[in-house]
Amino acid sequence: MSADIEKNLGEQPISKIMKESGLKPHDLVAHSDEQLTHKMVNRAMKGRRLTPRVKLKVCSALNNAVGKNYLPKDLFTY
C-alpha cells in the first residue's frame, strides 16, 4: 500500500445524518442485514478510508434504520 494515500479523511456526511436522526453506531449494526460491526460504523463516521464493500454495508444499514434511500456518494466524500 502506498504511503501517499491519506487514510483519515475527517468527519463524513454520514456522521451528520446519524446525529440528526438520533442514531448511534449500535443502531446501524442492529438494522444491518449483513455482517456489520461497530468498528466499521465508527470508522465510517470518523472518515477512515473504507473498502467499497464496507461502504455499501454501512449505506444499506443506514437506509434500513432511517427508511430513506441514501447512496454511498451521499454519505462519504471520497
pLDDT at 6: 77
Q: What is the pLDDT of residue 8?
A: 82
Among 46, 37, 41, 43, CA closest to 59: 41
| pTM for this model (two decimals) | 0.87
The reported pLDDT for the residue numbered 9 is: 86
Helix, coil or strand: residue 56 = helix
Answer for the pair 61, 36: CB distance below 8 angstroms, yes or no.
yes
pLDDT in tens, the chain (78 residues): 555 677 788 899 999 999 999 999 999 999 999 999 999 999 999 999 999 999 999 999 999 999 999 999 999 998
